[in-house]
Every structure is written in C-alpha cells, then in structure tokens.
Amino acid sequence: MFDRIGQGHYESFFVRGNHPTEPLAFWIRYTLLVPKGRPEAAVAELWAIVFDGERDHVVAVKERHPLASAVLGRDRFSFRIGAASFEHGSLRGSAHSDPSRADKHRIAWALDYDATDPPLLLLPEKLYAGDFPKAKSLVSAPLARFRGALDVDGRVIELDGWQGSQNHNWGARHTDRYAWGQVAGFDSEPRAFLECATAQLKVGPLWTPAMTVVVLRLGDRTIRLNELSTAVRAKAERKGFVWSFESATRQARVAARFFAPPARFVALRYDDPEGRDKICLNSKLAGCELRVQLPGEPERTLHSAHGAAFEILGQDAAGLPIAV
C-alpha cells in the first residue's frame, strides 16, 4: 500500500457479526485512505456501528487519525491505529463520534473470533492482479464466530457465538454504484455462506451495464457465478431498500432478494481517493431470501430473517441523515 501512496489508495479491513437469534449486529472497520496526488492528507480511520433491531436504534461512530499513527504488518496480518489493534482472531479498540456533533457516541470493542473456512474471492482470481476493477474485495474469514464484549455508550453487550466474517477491501477508487450483500449462515443452513454484488462503473461520461457477481458456499461446494460474461447477463433490480437479482450458468441458477426497513439502515459518507465521495446506506440486520437450483437436484430455498449484510452505494442518502 505504501508503495502506491502518491497514486491514491484505500485499504479497509472489517469484521461484522450477528446475534444467533436476536436482531442485533455490529460492524467494525479499520481503514487507510490516501487521496490521489495528496499523500500529505493521508489518514487512518476507525469505524464502528451497532444495530439494535428491537429498539430500531443504530449507533455509528468514526474516528480519524494521522497516518503516522497507523502500522500495517507486512509479514502477517496486523493493523494498529493509535491504541486500537486488529490481528487475525482478535481486535481491541474504541472510537468516539465527532465532538462537534450534538449526538455524541462512543463504542468500544474487545472481541476474539475463530474461523476455519478458507477465504472466499468475490471476483475471478485473475482480476485481482490487474487494474480492473479499481476496487477489490475478499472475505478473509467466512463464518467467523465471535465472542467478547461491545460497550455502546456505557451499555455492555456480551457476545458468545455471534456469527459473521472478516473482510478486506482495497483499491484506487470506490465502485461508482453498487448493491452488496452477504449472509454468513442462513436460518435453516447455518454453514451456508453467500457473497454477492451488483455494480455499475462510470467510464468517462458513460456508465457500464449493471454487473452481478455471486459466490455461494453450500457445505463443501463453492458455486461461482462471477465471470464477466455471466455478470452482464444477470438480471438485477433495486427499488428503495429492496434489491433482487437472478443469475445462471450451466452449473447453477441463483435468485436472491435482500430487504430491510429504513430504520435498520445508517447513511455513511465514504471518502474516495479520487475525491468523488459516495454515500453508503449500510444495514447489518437485513433479510435475505435465496433460491438455488443445481442440476439434477430439487430447488433449495434459504432464508435469513435479519442476519444479512446489505449495503447500497451511490450519491443518494434516501432521506436518511448522514451519521458519520
């Protein structure tokens, strides 16, 4: 990352997890941001959000630090921003909201997690070595199980057996528009894992067609519908806070629907290395309905009532206030 510091770059590592039965979830992200052509403006950021569906309450904080306070390991995964630490299997830290805001919040975390499943690539492996697309992502630890505690404005939430993932995003710019979803265990199939996205890129004044990529793990099988030819043929639609898609190859047909009420979303401002900031509508308490048809097998239907991650990135806050 530091080799590209003058060219514009972001690097994010995040974890997210859901309570085994209740509509309660968290998302914590450690980020480095280097604006293009302005390496002196580089910063490190700590983000944390807790979603409480029982109370229809979301608490979000972001704390910005000088880049000099960040240390990213080279030989093994380790990431420090100030006093906050993050390494495989463990993260400790805290963050406050902007002190100038009237609604001040603090979230602290002391979390450990176990993950034995291999990493999952959302894109075809060959695309990770090139310049297209400008934004890359992978799931470093699918089906991670969390334990520990969160402190949200003095309210302590104990975690034991919460399931989620650890993830890595990076690139020279954010995707221009996307809907992204992830389910780390469905209600009826807790070992199934879904990662998917519908994206559009802007090339000069023109927009590419919508492209939908899907990777699904069912037991020891990994079903990939992520080649470019498949992605552009897929059908996808988003209306408000509902996103649905259908994609097929000779090996599988997959259809999904992600949804959540506005009260379970939070609007975030994502700074872009190229200066074109985006608005991310972020929920970790979404529902998901998934249908899977494999050759020679009956169609399978999987559900998650409120355990899905669902994000919508663009320029529209959809009437929600910008939390951070």
Question: pLDDT tens digit string along 106-159?
Answer: 999 999 999 999 999 999 999 998 888 889 999 999 999 999 999 999 999 999
pLDDT confidence tier of residue 5, bands split at 50, 70 and 90: low
User: Which pTM value belongs to this model?
Assistant: 0.95
Beta strands in 116-201 (DSSP E): 120-121, 135-152, 155-171, 177-184, 193-200
DSSP type of residue 102: S
Q: What is the pLDDT of residue 91?
A: 98
pLDDT confidence tier of residue 2, bands split at 50, 70 and 90: very low
What is the rounded average pLDDT of the residues 65-85?
Answer: 93
Higher-pLDDT residue of 37, 289: 289
Paired residues of 276 in beta bridges: none
Phi (first) and psi of residue 45, to 5 degrees: -135, 145
Phi (first) and psi of residue 127, to 5 degrees: -80, -15
Reduced to 3 states (helix: H, G, I; strand: E, B; else coil), residue 67 is: helix
Q: What is the pLDDT of residue 204?
A: 85
CA–CA dist 240, 130 (Å, integer): 33
Tens of pLDDT, residues 24-53: 999 999 999 999 999 999 999 999 999 999
Residue 123 and residue 136 in contact, taking contact as beta carbons nearer than 8 Å: yes
Q: How high is the mean pLDDT of the chain? A: 94
Place of tokens 């859901």: 18
Paired residues of 7 in beta bridges: none
